[in-house]
Amino acid sequence: MQVVKYMFQPHGDDRGQLIALEEGKDIPFAVRRIYYMYETADGVTRGYHAHKHLQQILVCIHGSCKIRLDNGQESKVVSLEKPYEGLYVANTMWREMFDFSPEAVLLVLASEFYDENDYIRDYDEFLSFVRKEASNP
C-alpha cells in the first residue's frame, strides 16, 4: 500500500519559517474547503470512515498525531509531526486519527464542500465500495 506524503518547501529566514501551498502546484486538487481540529482531548480517536469522492491533505501544523490508513486490504499508521509534511488521503482510504499530542492542530485541505452523503461510515460498506471501485475504475 502506497502512502503519499508531501514535503512542502519552507521559506525560511532569520525571522522563522513560512509555508505557502498553491493549488495545482503543491496540492493536487482544487481546494474547496479547509478545516482544522484543535483542543483534542487526551486519548481521543476520530475518523472511522472513508469517502465516496473526497480527496484531502492532512497537515499537523502544530504538535503531532497519527493517522491509520486502511485501503481494505492492508493498513498503515503514519505519524504527522512536522508542519511541512502533508499526508494525501484518497477517498477510498478508511482513516482513523489518534495519539494527538497536547495542543496539536490538524489542518485539512479538502477537494469538496462538506457533504454528509459522501461519508461511508460502515466498514463492511467501505469494503464493498473499494471492491466495486477496483473492478470498475
Enumerate residues 4-23 that contact ligand T46 by CB under 6 A: none
Residue number, 46 or 62, with CB nearest to ligand T46: 46
Contacts of 127 (CB under 8 A, 6+ apart): 72
Q: Which of residues 81-110 bind ligand T46 (CB under 6 A)?
A: 95, 108
47 touching ligand T46, by CB under 6 A:
yes
Q: Under the criterion CB under 6 A, does residue 56 sit at the interface with ligand T46?
A: yes
Grid coordinates belonging to 31: 481546494
Pairing relation of β-strands 105-110 and 119-120? unpaired
Q: Is the dihedral of CA 50, 57, 100, 67 positive or negative?
A: positive
Site residues, ligand T46 (CB under 6 A): 33, 35, 46-47, 56, 95, 108, 114
